[in-house]
Amino acid sequence: MSSSKRQSILPRVQSGPKAPVNFSSSIIIADSALLTGNHTINISSESVVHPRAKLDSSNGRITIGRRCIIHERTSIGAASADPKPSESRDGVVISDYATIEVGAVLESGGTLIGEGCLVGVGCRVGKGAKLGKHCTLTPHSIIRPGEIIPDFTVVYSNGTRRTDKRGVSDLKNKAQARQIEVLRRLIPSNPAKFQ
């Protein structure tokens, strides 16, 4: 008799030590999210962590602000290929209202994602990079280690950049709050599993 549940063809992800966590009571975190590492993982109120998102605090503390959305198969706190040690104790800081989309990688080591940023599908943000407020990285963009991106910059995957002058940051924040309310009903949350 065969099982009706689909089996993944991907190999099982190796998990490290259980990370110390500090969660707000209003977060939404899926059972199948993977939180590992030695440093603290802080997640602020009304943020969402999708299934199969990986938060690895082995290389530094991870801080996620209010009303952020971390999509599936993201890797936050990934080890950098750059062998130089980081000057920051923070691994990754994600400010309020940021969205990290599917398959994005944020390397650990003083990396800062500004308020209202959108990190697109499959993007890679290098160690120590700093994104200003309301930046947009289009799918498969790469931000080099230590690079500083000014506020309201749109970065395209071919390296072209422009300044976003639409002035829609308040509308984006309201839309993000509405999306979180929908996700609250769709994603079964179990924060107690990680504490």
Distance (Å, whole) CA 178 – CA 184:
10
pLDDT digits (tens, 9 = 90+) for 111-153: 999 999 999 999 999 999 999 999 999 999 999 999 999 999 9
pLDDT digits (tens, 9 = 90+) for 32-74: 999 999 999 999 999 999 999 999 998 899 999 999 999 999 9
Residues 45, 75 contacting (CB under 8 angstroms): no
28 pLDDT above the threshold of 90: yes
Strand partners, 155: 137, 161
Strand partners, 61: 90
